[in-house]
Structure 1
Amino acid sequence: MHLDVFLEPAVDLPSLAKILDELGHLGRLDTIRGWGRRTQARLYEAAQGFHPITLDDFVPPATDPLHEVIHHGKNTLPSFSHFQKRFCKPTDAAAEDKAELLGYNHQTLMWATGPGYFVVHPSEASGEVDIDYLRTPKDKPTAWPPIQDNDHGLARLVYGGMVDVMRGVSQHVSIGRAKKKGTFMDAWFVLCREEPSA
């Protein structure tokens, strides 16, 4: 669905969020997959402080530990721009801090880059969340690939030293910008949460 009327000449985030909330999953997914680099960069700036995001936006509170929640993604790379980030709550035994989630990147080149495991926690900035590749989960759902750190091989080039800083757009949609070694990169991506299966 094209919602360009809410993006030009200025981003009308309240109206855009309302429409996204009213769309079903497939409508939201079709919408975000049409957002290119310029749109994502503008949305990221507009989203600052708009919809304070928490860990509950990534994994709903009623979800059991180690139950997968899939977020479909669209990044600003020229190719291989569709991917998934898969999240779950940790078991109590595996959580260093209860205010965290676990996850990995499910994408076409995973065989080469590794799964890109991460830990999710509240950001230093209020209302934002960090997807932190500097930390490696200690547990995972059985079906996920083997846990690897991001310090070796191609994983180091892709994920090493990286933190994605996330902002909220609507109830199911969030937007992130990559930061490496403390410096923001010109790389954005948008996520659309799929409701977890029972």
Structure 2
Amino acid sequence: MSQFKKLLLQGASPEQLADHLDGLSHNGRLEAIEALQGNTMSVLYERAAGQHTDIEFFVPEEIPDGQPVVHHGVNSLPWPVGGTFRKPMVRAAPGLVYGYNDNDGIVSLVGWFTGPGYFTLRARGTESPDGRSDFDGQVFVNYYEQPGERPVQHWPDPKPSMNWSASLVFGDMCDYMWRVSKHVSVGAAFKRGKPMGAWFALIRQQES
């Protein structure tokens, strides 16, 4: 069992978890989060509750507009749909961040059918499009709203989330986020305002 998972299951505080992750390299953080499986991801989400973040956490202010930032992801879903993925994000304009899902494994093979799952990142205090009033003003990943065209030249073309094939996966969805450490966040997926019982963590790309 990884040291981070052990700390989590032993009831470590959010501050202790953050200190542990902040002391690791980028690869160390990846290994720590990838060691979490199934319901341990939900434990992390519950432990991080109340640890707010902002849009600048996902695309730092020092990153120029138009330059992508990659967040490496791990989700709680079982094989074959579970596993690792990436959420590249980009600031298209001040306060406006777009991103999409770049999946690994078998899920990547159906991307032509579902589309890349574009989203808009929405700041704290933004009204939720799925009618939730109990989400405590979290930053959220909004699949209801996506760019009309690809925001970065080499990114895939958007496929409307309300297109019937895309809606099977991304339609009527929002992911609500908490901060875990300087580079790590954790999210829970909701569809039409109802929890999907699916969680994931993101590790912002960092070389050290």
- Within the candidate set 152, 159, 164, 2:175 is matched to 164
User: CA 1:113–1:155 in 2, change beyond 3 Å: closer, same or farther?
Assistant: same
Q: Matched residue of 1:15: which SS?
A: helix
Match for 1:154: what amino acid? S
Of the structure 1 ranges 167-176 and 121-130, higher mean CA displacement relative to structure 2 is found in 121-130
**How far, CA to CA, are the matches of 1:160 and 1:122 in structure 2?**
20
**How far, CA to CA, are the matches of 2:6 and 2:175 in structure 1?**
28
User: CA 1:123–1:154 in 2, change beyond 3 Å: closer, same or farther?
Assistant: farther
Runs (5+) with no aligned partner, structure 2: 126-134
Match for 1:131: what amino acid? V
* Alignment of 1:185 onto 2:196: yes
The aligned residue for residue 16 of structure 1 is 17
Match for 2:71: what amino acid? H
**How far, CA to CA, are the matches of 2:5 and 2:77 in structure 1?**
21
* Alignment of 1:147 onto 2:149: no
Instruction: Give the alignment's Cα RMSD to 1 decimal.
Output: 1.7
State the 1:155 CA deviation: 1.1
* Alignment of 1:89 onto 2:91: yes
How many residues align? The count is: 189
Q: How does 1:74-113 map to 2 (within 5 A)?
A: 74-79=74-79, 80=81, 81-91=83-93, 98-107=94-103, 108-109=108-109, 110-113=111-114
Match for 1:84: what amino acid? R
Match for 1:104: what amino acid? Y
State the 1:127 CA deviation: 6.1
Runs (5+) with no aligned partner, structure 1: 92-97
Of the structure 1 ranges 30-39 and 123-132, higher mean CA displacement relative to structure 2 is found in 123-132
TM-score of the two chains, using structure 1 as the length reference? 0.89
Contact 1:73 1:83 in 2 (8 A): yes
The aligned residue for residue 132 of structure 2 is none
| CA displacement 1:93-133 (0-9 Å, x = unmatched) | xxxxx433100001124233210000001244556211000
Contact 1:73 1:84 in 2 (8 A): yes
Match for 2:123: what amino acid? P
Contact 1:136 1:148 in 2 (8 A): no
Q: Matched residue of 1:112: which SS?
A: helix
State the 1:49 CA deviation: 1.2
Q: Percent identity?
A: 36
Q: Matched residue of 2:168: which SS?
A: helix
State the 1:84 CA deviation: 0.4
